[in-house]
Chain A
Amino acid sequence: MDASLVQASSKLVSVEGIARKFPGLTVFEDVWFHVAPGEFVCLVGHSGCGKTTILNILAGLDTPSEGAVLVGGREIEGPSLDRAVIFQGHALMPWLTAAENVAFAVSCRHRDWPKHRVQDAARAALKRVGLDAAADRKPAQLSGGMKQRVGIARALAIEPKLMLMDEPFSALDALTRGSLQEEVSRLVTEAGQTAFMITHDVDEAILLADRILLMTNGPRARIAEVVVNTLPRPRERANLHHMTGYHPLRDHIMDFLITRSRTLAGNPPPGYDPRNPPTVRPAG
């Protein structure tokens, strides 16, 4: 079999040397990484290093100044229904009910479906996130956690190849965040969903991710390291910290965020190859 074909099939998303420049500011450059099918990848880095910008480029809402993003082997041009986004601020339309918000997405995905079929699919998606009882309420009548659930249902309902999440739980209180993280973990593993998520929460990354990309501070930020999360699944938030390997993993990421994200910024170590940032397995 052709070697390049094997490689292409092991990468759903391939980010190839992208940079984003604004006049007088290079936010990041020479960023290379990939996401394999069924994989959950988290991107961790300090505020302002360009995480949202990278996610927007993956979503097709922004274009890189250099480099390209391939999805399924083809360069992306603009947004696609194959890449759903769960926005940080839920981004529900307040004039529509929860069910109508989801139905809008379903009707965009399946333009030929009759109305009742769209509505059934919307309700089914809401049921998956445990919101069937609140389907007919407007976003203003939902709590922050419920709104974010509707956002998740909306993304799930279009059955995307890739789910993109920009700090989806950062605006929620700790309890709601915990239960939503477990829910997303369950939904994503059940469906074998490929996902890319930005987070500030190290435990969230350890709970959800297969691989964690560590980004240096900006400007001229890069992917400094790729941390492989070898903790076995299923993981549960409640006993995550009892798992062997959790502490070395967490310490490694914390060390990076506290010191190395700063010291490595604009000062790559000798032998650093942006196409192949060092891979580490702190959990053993």
Chain B
Amino acid sequence: MSAPVPFWRAALLSLALLAALLLGWEMAVKSGASSGPTVDPELAALLSPEAARGGQTAMPAPSQIGARLVELLADPFHQRGTNDQGIGIQIAYSLWRVAAGFGLAMLIAIPLGFVIGMSPLLNAALNPFIQVLRPVSPLAWMPLALYTIKDSSISSIFVIFICSVWPMLLNTAFGVASVRKEWLNVARTLQAGTWRTAFRVILPAAAPTILTGMRISIGIAWLVIVAAEMLVGGTGIGYWVWNQWNNLSIADIVIAILMIGLVGLALDRLLGLVARAVAWAE
């Protein structure tokens, strides 16, 4: 067994790697700037008039991206018309959709998972449906959602709902089904009753497993929202990325990737904190 690595050494190495990456990138872009890959004028013309005017380098250097980042973050919540809203606003739209879809999924998946976990009969009866529906890409639901709901924003929420419901449902059912028999026997000998047993014994016992499902769900939801918004357009960070691609603003796309990563990390950490709070050790 190797000794545990001190935190500062790992952090220092991470910073060094980042610096090397950025420096290499910067040099590569700068050295290739004169003869480097410019946008094919035909493609640029196809994409947008703005890009066609360009002659700009396709791949921006980190310094340019940094400058653009400062610019974007200086006023992240501005709203000047439908096509010019700050990156903060766009992220907020995406977060709202994820929160709505994920919250709905929670409201359905956790109680339903509870029932499935408690009843082997229901578990067996519902299992075929779950097994068939779970592997379906959530985006495959989009046309059906758009057709029935007729609202692009609610359709994205529905898609988020569909993709986050499965991990939570399966983990809740599994967690509830594997609550130790002896704890249930304790509750029975104490005549705790159904509700007390459900909330004071089964729920805390299964909570770590349920939280694992929720963490998987929120990760998938955040992956899917970008794609969903690219499809339906309008608002949100996914739409924004697509829009910047149409504008051929590669720097903005890189920034969006960074932002999506950071927000995803924050969401995971948030649920990680909740998971820590409900964790128990034997």
Interface of B toward A, CB cutoff 8 Å: 180, 182-183, 185-186, 188-192, 196, 200-201, 204-205, 207, 278, 280-282
Contact = CB atoms under 8 A, between A and B. Distances in A.
A109 interface: yes
Interface in A83-135: 83-85, 87, 89, 91, 93-96, 104-105, 108-109
B281 A94 contact: yes
Nearest to B190: A108
Given A79-B189, A91-B182, A104 B281 contact: no
Given A95-B204, A95-B205, A108-B192, A87 B186 contact: yes
Contacts of B183: 91, 93
A83 B185 CA distance: 13
Contacts of B186: 85, 87, 91, 93
Closest 6 CB pairs of A and B: A95-B280, A108-B190, A91-B182, A140-B281, A94-B280, A79-B189
Given A89-B182, A139-B282, A61 B205 contact: no
A108 B191 contact: yes
Given A91-B182, A91-B183, A93-B201, A104 B190 contact: yes
Given A91-B186, A104-B200, A81 B191 contact: yes
Contacts of A84: 189
Contacts of A59: 185, 189
Nearest to A158: B190
A109 B190 contact: yes
Q: Is the interface of B mostly helix, strand, loop or mixed?
A: helix
A113 to B, nearest CB: 14
A230 to B, nearest CB: 33
Contact of A108 (B196, B278, B281): B196
A186 interface: no
Nearest to A154: B186
Contacts of B282: 94, 139-140
Contact of B185 (A85, A108, A158): A85
Contact of A93 (B188, B189, B204, B281): B204
Contacts of B190: 79, 81, 104-105, 108-109, 158
Contacts of B191: 79-81, 108
A95 B190 CA distance: 18
Contact of A61 (B185, B204, B207, B280): B185
A140 B282 CA distance: 5
A60 B196 CA distance: 19
Contacts of A78: 188
Interface in A119-172: 138-140, 158
A61 B189 CA distance: 8
Contacts of A104: 190, 192, 200
Given A79-B188, A85-B189, 20 more contacts: A59-B185, A60-B189, A61-B185, A61-B189, A78-B188, A80-B189, A81-B189, A91-B185, A91-B186, A93-B183, A93-B204, A94-B280, A104-B190, A104-B200, A105-B190, A108-B190, A108-B196, A109-B190, A140-B280, A158-B190
A104 B196 CA distance: 10
B167 to A, nearest CB: 22
B182 to A, nearest CB: 4
Contacts of B201: 93
Interface string A219-234: 0000000000000000
A144 to B, nearest CB: 12
B281 A138 contact: yes
Given A93-B204, A95-B204, A108-B196, A61 B188 contact: yes
Contacts of A87: 182, 185-186
Nearest to A160: B189
B193 to A, nearest CB: 8
A96 to B, nearest CB: 8
Nearest to B280: A95
